[in-house]
Every structure is written in C-alpha cells, then in structure tokens.
Amino acid sequence: MEQYKEEFIHFMVESHVLRFGSFTLKSGRQSPFFMNAGAYVTGEQLHRLGKYYAQAIHDNFGLDFDVVFGPAYKGIPLAVVTAIALQELYGKEVRYCCNRKEVKDHGADKGNLLGADLHDGDRVIMVEDVTTSGKSIDETYPILKGAADVEVKGLIVSLNRMEVGKGGVVTAQKEVQEKYGFPVASIVSMAEVVECLYNKEVEGDVVINDDIKAAIDEYYEQYGVKE
C-alpha cells in the first residue's frame, strides 16, 4: 500500500472522520463504521485533505483535465482544497466549479453553479466524500452536461465502502461507472482500511479490534459484493 494511503487512513481516524461502532445509515443499514467528511474543520486538516485528493487524482486519472467539480454541499470545500493542492504539489493550474442546491436568481452570478464557468470541451474531475447510492451524481451530472458539453474524466471519492449499491449486485461506485461511462476511484477502500488498522494502534488505541473486525466481516457477508 502506498505511504500516502496509510497516512490518509490514520488521518481519517485522528480527525474523527472515520469512526467504528454501530451506526444507522441513511439507507437504513446498520453499519459498524461511518465516515463523515464534514468533520474536517481546521485549516491544517483541509490542507492535508486536498493533498490526498490531489495525489489520488494524479495516480488514478493523471493531470490532463481543466476543472475540479464538487457536488453541493460537501463537495464544495473538497473542490477548492483539491484545486489548491494540485497547484501546490504538481504545478497544475485548474479551475474549480460547484453546484448550488437552489438556483440563484439575482446578482451577476445567477444560476445553479458557482466558481468557474464551464465551457464546451472542458475536461472535468468530480470529487466527493463517499458514494453510497450515486444520488448526488444523478443530481449533478445533468447539471454539468446542461451547462456545457464537458467531458467527465473521472470521479474520486475518499472511501470505497465496497458494498452493494441500489441494484444489489455491484458496488455503488461500479454502478455509477457503468451508468455514466466514466471511471470511479477512491483514495482508499475499506479493505485497505482494515488491512492498515486491524489490531494496530492509532494514538494509543486499537481502532479495529477483534470484535470490530468480526462486525465488519458480518456486515460484508450481508452487504458486500458477491463474486
């Protein structure tokens, strides 16, 4: 596993973004882990987060694109910090763009987009925290294509939960990829998280002990993708 992936896993735990226990998801599933990117709240955290996204984009998609797009609302800061990190790490100058949940009908920047204007031929990388159902992509992809004839080069998320999507056969990430025809990648997967943390300490505590590991295994027996 690449060093930045291990660092990112520890970073998620230390930032209280990735937690383990028992959580009821929006889908109604009882999950032994939960990720909330809204818990990144400090300047240092956001600075580091942007770098991890930039590294993952570089590794998965390269740097041949023009715009970083973040779906509202959590995708807005992700797009901003990723654009900054791409310039800092690779000298890659990109524009950022996001959507609004509500259309703005006054001022000079009317409409449902903020940040850079989109132009025909723009190559776009989308950034999200996690894809569980693909709902945000279903909402924002038509907005992107309606604004200009852009090409989505890929979607990057923090964590691949590795569980079945709405169709109950393949992962949510795979469903998005098959539906829209662009690649979907993650900084890390839950398999990598378990590999990195099982019976190992973070800040003096074992995050995934035998009980949590058993709960994760049981969860994937029910919701994991069957080969």
Q: Is 135 annotated as a binding residue?
A: yes
Where do the domains of the chain lie? 3-223
Active site residue 119: no
| pLDDT for res 130 | 85
Question: Which of 182, 191, 211, 207 is closest to 65 using CA atoms?
Answer: 182
Q: Is 202 annotated as a binding residue?
A: no
Active site residue 47: no
Q: Is 219 annotated as a binding residue?
A: no
Which is catalytic among the residues 5, 16, 106, 174?
A: 106
| Residue 194 identity (one-letter amino acid) | V
Rg (C-alpha) for the chain, rounded Å, is 18
| pLDDT for res 102 | 65
- Cα–Cα distance, 3 to 1 (Å, whole number): 6
Tokens of 189: 């997967």
Residue 63, φ and ψ in degrees, nearest 5:
-120, 20
Three-state secondary structure call for residue 203: coil
Q: Is 15 annotated as a binding residue?
A: no
Q: Is 96 annotated as a binding residue?
A: no
- Cα–Cα distance, 41 to 63 (Å, whole number): 27
Question: Which of 125, 144, 140 is closest to 65 using CA atoms?
Answer: 125
Q: Is 74 annotated as a binding residue?
A: yes
Q: Is 201 annotated as a binding residue?
A: no
- Cα–Cα distance, 35 to 159 (Å, whole number): 8
Q: Measure Cα distances from 20 to 1, 8, 31, 33, 47 in Å.
A: 22, 16, 9, 4, 25
Q: What is the pLDDT along the chain (227 residues), one digit of tens a residue?
A: 899 999 999 999 999 999 999 999 877 889 999 999 999 999 999 999 999 999 999 999 999 999 999 998 889 999 999 999 999 999 999 999 999 876 655 444 546 899 999 999 999 999 999 876 667 788 889 999 999 999 999 999 999 999 888 787 888 888 999 999 999 999 999 999 999 999 999 999 999 999 999 999 999 999 988 65
Place of tokens 């994760």: 216
Which of 3.90.79.10, 1.25.40.10, 3.40.50.2020, 3.40.50.1980 would CATH assign to domain 3-223? 3.40.50.2020
| pLDDT for res 106 | 45
Strand 123-130 with 151-160, pairing: parallel
| pLDDT for res 105 | 55
| pLDDT for res 146 | 92
Which is catalytic among the residues 10, 92, 104, 226?
A: 104
- Cα–Cα distance, 174 to 150 (Å, whole number): 21
- Cα–Cα distance, 37 to 8 (Å, whole number): 13
Q: Is 133 annotated as a binding residue?
A: yes
